[in-house]
Chain A
Amino acid sequence: MRKLLYLLPLSLLFFVTACGDDDVQAEETAEVNLNFKATYDGDDFYTENIYKLFEGVDDTDIKFSTFDFFIGNVSLIKNVGEEFEETELLEIDFVSLSFDPGQAAQAEAGVTIQGRKVPAGTYDGIKIGFGVPADLNRTSPSEYGSGDVLSKTSHYWSGWDSYIFAKLEGLADHNGNGVFETSGVEEGFTYHMGTDETFTERTIFQTITLEVDEERTVNLNLDVRKLFRMTLSEYDQDDNDLLDVEDFPGTHTDAELQINKTMMNNFSDAVSLQE
């Protein structure tokens, strides 16, 4: 009997170790984080910092108060023959890059988002969606507990039955008097983007080799100035393919829906992979 008692824990131990081994072999993983930072026409981006709207083209002073966006369906991609195999890093998350100069340390560090563990190995690139993927965009904030990224009442617009995928807000000193005004002269702009058709995907091709147990951070930058690109002649400024911020300071009227779409689309051009 005594011997048997010894045997039991031993065999159990064996059993456990055996299982453990198995697990590890099946999942030689690496961890991938995404880091987001922003620039404005190449300069570090801060909210409440004054920039030239379109330097050299339109030197109006502009400052931002909010820049944030959802990212969805982010995955690593692998070229397998004719097709791409996707390995999902995350389904949905929210990135706010609204850091003012008083939060310089945070702006410098950027926003890091933890992705899922993925099998180690070599990938051919990364695919990022900007916005809330359609399946999740059928839901709304009241369905989520607070703390959940999709519980943000600030980022849902029932007029569209959609999350607000991104916000870019600020003030531009259109009359050039050195004061950012909201009273009498309208200098505020509030671009809110969203609806399923504006969900924007961008695939960036670059070989990413992940060693087993490695923790890798993929650094991404968004150049906010690029969001203002506007090729629709009704909304552009003097045929220079830039949005006329003074005449179209929002995305709320039906006419301005085109601006919403274009700006969301522009995320694919604004994002770049950093070394």
Chain B
Amino acid sequence: MDSRTIAFIIRRAIYAVFTLLILIVFIFVLIHVIAPNPISLAKIYSGVPHGSLTFYAAYAKTHGLDAPVYVQIFTYIINIFKGNFGIDPIKDQPVITLIGKYLPRTLEFVLTGIVISIILGLYTGAYAAARRRKPADNTVKGFYLATWSMPTFLLAAVLQLVIAYDLRLLPAINMVDPTLRAPPDVLAFPILNALWARDWPYLISLIHHMILPTLAIALLSFGIITRLTRSTMLDVMETDYFRLTLMKGVPRNKAIYSVALRNASIPLVTYIVLDLAFSVAGAVVIEEIFSYHGIGYYIVQAIYNLDYPAILGTTIIIALTIIVANLIADILYGVLDPRVRLE
């Protein structure tokens, strides 16, 4: 890696920190717009929706909610960087602990689903682009239009109905067979925990339960990735350098899957991160349908219970995940595209 690439990465990292700060300030401002005085602030931060006035007043005092705004924003930022998102009043545990428990479960199937859809989507997108306007192209287009344009919950519900209830191929709900005892939580991710403890029945049950949600996520982002791949591939296939590659005598298929796909993958990196954000949102719905207890389930519970600390905490943590993913994408972009390093 040359010095230019490193400088590029450092600048992107600084951008990421700025982005996070702006985000936190936005959320802070938002809370203060909704709750302009210490009492209503206490109502939000304490997570107790129907407390007494004296309780809120006391809470505001102990948590410095009556301090000047600039002090408050400072404390808020410090708290967030310390991972202090408050206490979840319903589960009576720190929000950060609960996120640490639920987020890995979601990432497990969301990342698997995305990886599957990237591999498939890149391939089908390139395949369709290579056969533009031919029946194969139209079939691919029809398929991704259908999976993409269907509301996520309906897609998941239909999958569940057909595969789990009608055909009885896979379990319909839950993350794991509830009769099994969970192995000790060492590595945060349930699958890794099961592997660590060599608890095979538990592992198999986990994977069994994971297939349908993963499939739903994969179908959800498959459309986006295929469509983007197809259109960027078409752009590349019209460039002079692609034509010169053919002119040299490189077989068309080789040119498509090496030169064109390689160049098309550069802009795709950014989109795949957007897709991650999109899929996390999809996970909320999918977890609800499959009663899969991940971060989405936690968010939905928080919404039903008007549990503000949980809502704010998850929003920030997920945004942070996306920012980090964005940073990785930027770096990848720099590695993939020699032109970026010039900037």
Decide if A and B are genuine partners: no
